[in-house]
């Protein structure tokens, strides 16, 4: 049985073009990723050349203008790629792709100068440059006001000092968007963003952080020790970093939502196949009422999640997706992903707890979704403040 959720909303690309992109993405993933992904999981690292291959195949920067190396295909195609990578069970790659193509590149497209766009984006679209974004610090996650990394004005540029942690793509990144305080006395209003070339003196990486899931996605500590960047490394205006982060959150959380929908669909398909083949007490697992009700609930939740995702995507396409929309989407879909995949794994019995069955990878890969890009608790706070006011 083929599980198909509703397609993403129509934001400018025809159905025929969408179908062509989707088929191309599936074929590329089956050829370039599937044969080696288990080995990459064991190595806790994606190979650097994979990004060149994805760029050569046209999967990076699909919604960039053609003049900047893209296909001008629309944001829904980029999100479809996130969803398909997750559907095939490549959670680590999905997170790395989401950071590079759905977060970092749009930051530069929306906030960068023409020179910055021309310098970075074509090379990011080709895979020559891999991007990351560095916000979280050892003592400051969602609380940006507690950030300690600083950027101090010097002749001809800025001097960066500080450390970041849990940075996806951190080990391989060629360019990192770094959040740093340019006015330590101004709290969140003193944050600025910088495009940091990782080949510069003063930039270093710690060892890879081992995680319970998404093993193929490298996660690193980054350090800045009197790192000097030129004036033109400032992204946008000084002191507006927090505003920019809030401005770009809707797209980031659409990406997390697309990953969640794809993973639920992929896990559900694995489960449907398994319960129709596995037998117990003289009948298929699929013939037990508990199995049928569980699958029905997961499918119903998936359809509801797709409907709200499409609604948010339509709002995003016309510039009307609010921070509360983004928080609601991120909260509900990431929590739904963890619950749904947990219920799917249960139907595998003991086999679901083994590494022999791919459902186990869906399970461990899902767990981070309620944590990164804003924890579920922070999402609830955002929603509550929207309802009750800032003093809630």
**Residues recognised as catalytic:** 252
Q: How far is CA 223 from the centre of its chain?
A: 22
**137 DSSP β-pair partners:** 140
Q: What is the dihedral of CA 262, 267, 270, 271, to 10 degrees?
A: -140
Cβ neighbour number for residue 146 with a 10 Å cutoff: 12
Q: Are strands 234-235 and 191-197 parallel, antiparallel or unpaired?
A: antiparallel
If DSSP codes are grouped into helix, strand and coil, which group holds residue 4?
coil
In whole angstroms, what is the distance from residue 65 CA to residue 76 CA?
A: 14
Phi-psi sector, 350: left (phi>0), alpha (psi -120 to 50), beta: alpha
CB neighbours of 105 closer than 8 A, spacing ≥ 6?
Answer: 60, 61, 64, 121, 124, 125, 131
CA-to-CA dists, residue 182 to 61, 133, 144, 244, 245, angstroms: 30, 17, 13, 15, 15
Q: How far apart are CA 189 and CA 176, in angstroms?
A: 21
Helix (H, G, I), strand (E, B) or coil at 225: strand
Residue 27 exposure: Cα atoms within 13 Å on the Cβ side? 8
Could you please report the per-residue DSSP string of 322-352? -HHHHHHHHHHHHHHHHHHHHHHHHTTGGGG
The SS3 call for residue 198 is coil
């Amino acid at each position: 049985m083929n599980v198909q959720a509703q397609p993403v909303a129509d934001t400018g690309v025809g159905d025929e073009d969408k179908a062509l992109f989707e088929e191309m993405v599936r074929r590329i993933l089956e050829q370039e990723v599937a044969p080696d992904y288990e080995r990459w999981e064991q190595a806790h690292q994606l190979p650097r050349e994979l990004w060149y291959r994805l760029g050569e195949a046209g999967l990076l920067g699909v919604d960039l203008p053609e003049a900047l190396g893209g296909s001008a295909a629309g944001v829904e195609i980029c999100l479809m790629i996130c969803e398909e990578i997750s559907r095939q069970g490549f959670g680590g790659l999905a997170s790395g792709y989401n950071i590079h193509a759905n977060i970092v590149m749009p930051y530069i497209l929306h906030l960068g100068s023409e020179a910055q766009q021309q310098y970075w984006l074509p090379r990011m679209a080709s895979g020559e440059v891999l991007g990351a974004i560095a916000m979280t610090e050892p003592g400051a996650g969602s609380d940006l006001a507690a950030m300690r990394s600083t950027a101090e004005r010097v002749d001809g540029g800025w001097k960066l000092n500080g450390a970041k942690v849990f940075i996806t793509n951190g080990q391989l990144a060629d360019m990192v968007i770094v959040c740093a305080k340019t006015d330590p006395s101004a709290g969140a209003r003193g944050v600025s963003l910088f495009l940091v070339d990782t080949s510069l003196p003063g930039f270093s990486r710690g060892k890879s952080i081992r995680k319970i899931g998404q093993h193929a996605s490298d996660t690193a500590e980054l350090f800045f020790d009197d790192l000097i960047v030129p004036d033109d490394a400032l992204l946008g205006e000084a002191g507006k970093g927090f505003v920019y982060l809030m401005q770009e959150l809707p797209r980031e959380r659409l990406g997390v939502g697309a990953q969640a929908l794809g993973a639920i669909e992929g896990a559900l398909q694995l489960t449907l196949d398994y319960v129709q083949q596995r037998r117990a007490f003289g009948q298929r697992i699929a013939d037990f009422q508990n199995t049928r009700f569980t699958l029905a609930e997961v499918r119903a939740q998936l359809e509801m999640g797709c409907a709200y995702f499409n609604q948010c995507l339509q709002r995003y396409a016309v510039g009307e997706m609010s921070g509360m929309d983004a928080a609601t989407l991120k909260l509900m879909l990431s929590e739904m992903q963890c619950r749904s995949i947990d219920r799917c794994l249960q139907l595998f019995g003991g086999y679901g707890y083994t590494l022999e069955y791919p459902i186990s990878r869906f399970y461990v890969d899902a767990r981070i979704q309620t944590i990164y890009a804003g924890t579920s608790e922070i999402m609830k706070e955002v929603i509550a403040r929207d309802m009750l006011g800032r003093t809630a």
